[in-house]
Amino acid sequence: MYRAIEDNLTDLISTADKIRRKFKGEKVKLCSIINAKSGMCDQDCAFCGQSSYHKTKTPKYPMLDTEAIVKSAMDAERNGAAEFSIVTSGKGINSREEIGKIKRSIKRIKKETSLECCASLGVLNKDFLKELKDAGLDRYHHNLETSQSFFPQICTTRPYRENVDTIIAAKEAGLITCCGGIFGMGESQKQRIELAMTLKELDPDSIPINFLNPVKNTKLENMSLLKPLEALKIIATFRIIFPTKDIIICGGREITLQSLQPMMLLAGANGMIIGDYLTTKGRNVQDDLDMIKDLGLHNE
Ligand code: SF4
């Protein structure tokens, strides 16, 4: 099946665009994130500059205070984002002090902005996710990163099952869920479809698609970037598999898609992260807003 798709890229993109227009219309969802706690992670994710297994120049700092997180959310709203996500490094969050800061931040973001509030705090259990929901959290993000069969080559410090269970727990806690992966880490096309099938079973509300932007001194530092057309093929394939879901293009889009970047919104995507990513710089926000307008689309 994937072979047939591969041989007809323009047909694939055109089909994906029709599906995107049918279910998402002209709206583009803009998300913004803050790296609220950076580096010093005890996990060995091969792509990540925040892993303590890698000696990178990625900044290291403990959990930001509530004021800094809320200010960043307000900036995101001014920039046109509909959603703001608090992201922290590490397998999960354990300290009550950190939990308190996150809950206070969520409460203030919900009170002082009209943003949808998301968090990405690693592997969590249902009780903690319910606590966050009660504080006002709308959505929980946790990526599977890649397919189950390829995951052992990407991370050896936690089982794949814990990623899956976190999304199941978030749904049970009543949260909207966001779950996807990173492409271009050496996985096969078959493994991309394997990831899609696992996501199909998990049924998250939105699917973030990241492209590897190799970070110096990580295990994947020498990995070649995906070709722009290959990246578009992934986006279009995911739109066809997930007709009604939000497909959000995240890290690595500028460096991977290059001059074909506007095509991501004509190949099935209906959302993107604006501003900076976790450990890498993003594009100028106005350039993204102009791109959306030039395509005849508008942000939510
Ligand atoms: S991706 Fe998350 S869990 Fe993995 S090393 Fe980076 S910060 Fe840690």
Q: How confident is the model at residue 5 (pLDDT cuts 50, 70, 90)?
A: low
Residue 117 in any domain: the answer is yes
C-alpha span between 125 and 105 (Å, rounded): 20
**Is 28 domain-assigned?**
yes
Whether 48 maps to a domain, the answer reads yes
| Span from the CA of 274 to the centroid of ligand 1 (angstroms) | 21
Quick: pLDDT tens for 164-173. Answer: 999 999 999 9
* 120 within some domain: yes
Q: Is 88 in the pocket of ligand 1 (CB under 6 A)?
A: no
Q: With respect to residue 288, please indicate whether it lies within any of the assigned structural domains.
A: no
Which residue has the least CA distance to atom 4 on ligand 1? 45
Angle separating helix axes 126-135 and 160-172, nearest 10 degrees: 40
Q: How many domains does the chain have?
A: 1
pLDDT tens per residue, range 123-145: 999 999 999 999 999 999 999 99
Query: What's the mean per-residue pLDDT of the chain?
Result: 93
Largest pairwise CA distance in the chain: 53
Is any ligand 1 atom within 6 A of the Cβ of residue 91? yes
Judged against a pLDDT cut of 90, whether residue 95 lies above it is answered with no
Q: Is the pLDDT of residue 18 over 60?
A: yes
In a domain, 108, yes or no: yes
Q: State the pLDDT confidence band at 283, using cuts at 50, 70 and 90.
A: confident
Domain at 224, CATH number: 3.20.20.70
Which protein residue's CA is at the shortest distance from atom 7 of ligand 1? 89
Does residue 300 lie within any of the structural domains?
A: no
Atom of ligand 1 nearest to the CA of 41: 8
CA separation for the pair 251, 227 (Å, rounded): 15
Across residues 247-253, what is the average pLDDT? 94
Q: Is the pLDDT of residue 252 over 80?
A: yes
Domain that holds residue 164: 2-281
Residue 289 lies in a domain: no
DSSP one-letter string for the chain: -HHHHHTTHHHHHHHHHHHHHHHHTTEEEEEEEEEEEBS-BS---TT-TTBTTS------B-PPPHHHHHHHHHHHHHTT-SEEEEEE-SS----HHHHHHHHHHHHHHHHH---EEEEE-SS--HHHHHHHHHHT--EEE---BS-TTTGGGT-SSS-HHHHHHHHHHHHHTT-EEE--EEE-SS--HHHHHHHHHHHHHH--SEEEEEE--PPTTSTTTTPPPPPHHHHHHHHHHHHHHSTTSEEEE-TTHHHHHGGGGGGGGGTT--EEE-S--SSS----HHHHHHHHHHTT-EE-
**pLDDT score for 247:** 98
